[in-house]
Structure 1
Amino acid sequence: MTDDRITSQADLEQVWQTLMEPLGFTRTSLWMVFLHPDGRPHKTLIEVPAPDDMVAPDPTAPELLDLLEEWTTEQVPGGRVAFLRTRPGRGGLDRSDRLWAAALYAAAQLAGVPCEVVHAANNDRLLPVPLDEIDILSA
């Protein structure tokens, strides 16, 4: 994990790229990093394996909400969360990447935890999934 402050989406994308290189995933996972208010990342990188056929996590799942609330009150007070969804496959963002990002943004909002731009990675790309990508789902 870097000691550098993460102050922009580009900084965060570079951190995810460094942590995940070389790209290539055999299963779907959710990765989380918590950032201190000044942008320093906590040293713990959390991986939560997920079933490959999971459409998206439940943003109201108590386990997810409790994890977000616990980390930002006990481990990283006043912090924010950064999410990365990794999966097998190739190409750009697909509907499942957008559904996952929408669920993760919703979970952070429900938990009252500020959320960085969600990212998604597969075997050949790591991309941001900003909120305007989520709007495509309802178009």
Structure 2
Amino acid sequence: MTKPSREPHFPVLTTDADVTTMWRTIIEPLGWHTRRMYFVLVDPDGRPHPNVVELDEMPTAFGADDAARFVELLAMLVSGLGGDACSVALMLARPGGGGLSEDDRGMCRELYAAARAADVRLELLHVATDTAIIPAPMDEILPRTRSA
């Protein structure tokens, strides 16, 4: 087993896989006592800012209003960086194992929908459990709309 590097991780996020690799590289060790959210602001060139923001004691679920208020905060932060071309990488963290729970899916669904309504670009959302970091792709989370 190799030791984690103490060198800074400066990725360029051009694909969903890059976002997954970033979270798996910078969030160690796994294991949570409370629900948390982490986010990183991403410049238009795909370079994440070096500061990871951690929000502790997150609720189990977000309603539409909660998600809209949170995304409003993200919109203000993004506008300070350069606006529409910037994005946000978000990861929810929770105690326990397994894959995406219904609560995880619900929270991701509300965040994706609120971001879409506010025209805030989110990178691929992730959920961290005690054992894994799991991607939560928008096309698997948001309900599909039928064409007329």
Q: Which string of whole-angstrom CA distances, capped at 9 and with x for unpartnered residues, describes residues 9-66 of structure 1?
A: 1111111011212211111011111111110001221111234xx3422343364133
Partner of 2:113: 106
Coordinate RMSD, CA, aligned? 1.9
CA separation in 1, counterparts of 2:69 and 2:38? 15
Partner of 2:4: none
Counting only pairs closer than 5 Å after superposition, residues 40-119 of structure 1 correspond to structure 2 as 40-51=47-58, 54-61=59-66, 63-77=69-83, 78-119=85-126
Counting only pairs closer than 5 Å after superposition, residues 10-29 of structure 1 correspond to structure 2 as 10-29=17-36
| TM-score, with length taken from structure 2 | 0.81
CA separation in 1, counterparts of 2:11 and 2:27? 17
Q: Which moved more, 1:57-66 or 1:114-123?
A: 57-66
Pairs aligned (count)? 134
CA separation in 2, counterparts of 1:58 and 1:48? 17
CA separation in 2, counterparts of 1:76 and 1:19? 25
Unaligned ranges ≥5, structure 1:
none
Contact conserved, 1:2 with 1:41, CA < 8 A, in 2? Answer: no
Aligned to 1:44, what secondary structure does the other structure show?
A: coil
Corresponding residue to 1:8 among 9, 15, 20: 15
Query: Identity percentage over the alignment?
Result: 34
Contact conserved, 1:98 with 1:133, CA < 8 A, in 2? Answer: no
CA separation in 1, counterparts of 2:113 and 2:128? 20
Unaligned ranges ≥5, structure 2:
1-7, 144-148
The residue type paired with residue 70 of structure 1 is M
Larger radius of gyration: 2
CA separation in 1, counterparts of 2:102 and 2:61? 10
What stretches of structure 1 move > 6 A for 4+ residues in a row? none
Asked if residue 121 in structure 1 is aligned to residue 102 in structure 2, the reply is no
Aligned to 1:43, what secondary structure does the other structure show?
A: coil
| TM-score, with length taken from structure 1 | 0.85
Give 1:96 shift.
Answer: 1.1
